[in-house]
Copies of this chain bind each other. A is one copy, B any other.
Amino acid sequence: MYNAEAYAASSATSPLTSTKIKRRDPTERDVQIEILFCGICHSDLHQVRNEWSDVMPTIYPCVPGHEIVGRVTKVGSAVQKFKPGDLAAVGCMVDSDRTCPECRAGLEQFCPNLTLTYNFPDKHLGGVTYGGYSGSIVVDEHFVLRVPSNLSLAGTAPLLCAGITTYSPMRHWGVTNGKKVGVVGLGGLGHMAVKFAHALGAHVVVFTTSASKKDDALRLGADEVVLSRNSGEVQKHAGSFDFILDAVSADHDINAYIQLLRRDGNITLVGAPEKPLAVAAFALLFGRRSLSGSPIGGIAETQEMLDFCGAHNITADVEVIPIQKVNEAYDRLLKADVKYRFSIDMASLKS
């Protein structure tokens, strides 16, 4: 065991503050990583403030962060994919049982014995896992990703959650060249969805409540931008979309989007509104449409996504901050005052 610098919350109402946490010495299959950047995901805020107490109550101290990139500092004797000095990344998962049908299918995100990167029982040290708001992390190599060398590291970090969460459902539901894809909500997830859909060759339409985001949406790769409050504009797209990615966590009228799908079209939720969505059955019946949800992606697909980003030079648009500004960043996150993701420069942890 060794001590690592970190930022942790000590209760649901405490700010994140500097602390020291224990990390295990690398076992034979482990990779030790010096964390260079960690993205701030809205989940971090939910978890820190115990807003998911029903399903995933928070154990304190809580060190969040699951959008991690860094450099390998040490590897165990059995590690094959990494050597010290390599770039490496870690996302939302750090372990699973490797033997269940989900794991064997490369879909570790559905493993019943999954270990999430933070706030999950830590099999090695007891207590809970600690995430990426830290100077280093030790992770089994199966859950460590290779990072293309041509990408900015600050913008790569958010790919590990915001990236894979939007890439995976597009691949699953067959977004390819010539398909018409809608993206609802232009935030951390939505802006990645626009980049991926565009790079996959789709005709991309962004639905946003903010007229001010129009130019930005076009810059990110949208072919059209529709103000979602203008129902006439929205209605022009009725029955035309192959796939819509809904990245809105706030309560909203999902039926307005379901009826934009063509026959057999799918709308996938990646945001999780607190209140149940009111879904009109007729909108699904006419056109054999489907409504789904999708959580992150498996390790193999996460690597595929990173390689795709390398090939297409895709990263998240980030505002880089020092760790000392993390609490301020959380407040701004609640006002959607970031384009489009905060990425913490972990060098600041030493200052």
Judged by a CB distance under 8 angstroms, whether A51 is at the interface is no
Separation in Å of the A272 CB from the closest CB of chain B? 4
1/0 per residue, CB under 8 A from B, across A315-348: the answer is 0000000000000000000000000000000000
Binding-face segment, A90-98, A197-205, A276-284: A276-284
Total number of A residues with any Cβ neighbor in B under 8 Å: 34
Judged by a CB distance under 8 angstroms, whether A291 is at the interface is yes
Judged by a CB distance under 8 angstroms, whether A107 is at the interface is yes
Judged by a CB distance under 8 angstroms, whether A294 is at the interface is yes
Contacts of A55 in B (CB 8 A): 282
Give Cα A277–Cα B291 distance, bound, in whole angstroms: 12
Q: Please provide the chain A residues from 257 to 274 with a CB less than 8 Å away from any CB of chain B in the complex.
A: 263, 266, 269-273
Judged by a CB distance under 8 angstroms, whether A57 is at the interface is no
Q: Say whether B284 contacts A291, CB under 8 Å.
A: yes
Residue from B169, B277, B278, B285 within 8 A of A272 (CB atoms): B285
Q: Say whether B278 contacts A276, CB under 8 Å.
A: yes
Residue from B172, B278, B287 within 8 A of A277 (CB atoms): B278
Judged by a CB distance under 8 angstroms, whether A15 is at the interface is no
Judged by a CB distance under 8 angstroms, whether A290 is at the interface is yes
How many copies of the polypeptide does the oligomer hold?
2
Give Cα A178–Cα B17 distance, bound, in whole angstroms: 54
Give Cα A289–Cα B270 distance, bound, in whole angstroms: 12
Q: Say whether B279 contacts A288, CB under 8 Å.
A: no
Contacts of A313 in B (CB 8 A): none
Separation in Å of the A113 CB from the closest CB of chain B? 14
Contacts of A27 in B (CB 8 A): none
Contacts of A289 in B (CB 8 A): 292-293
- Contact A281/B273 with A102-B263, A263-B102 known, Cβ cut-off 8 Å: yes
Q: Say whether B276 contacts A271, CB under 8 Å.
A: no
Contacts of A106 in B (CB 8 A): none
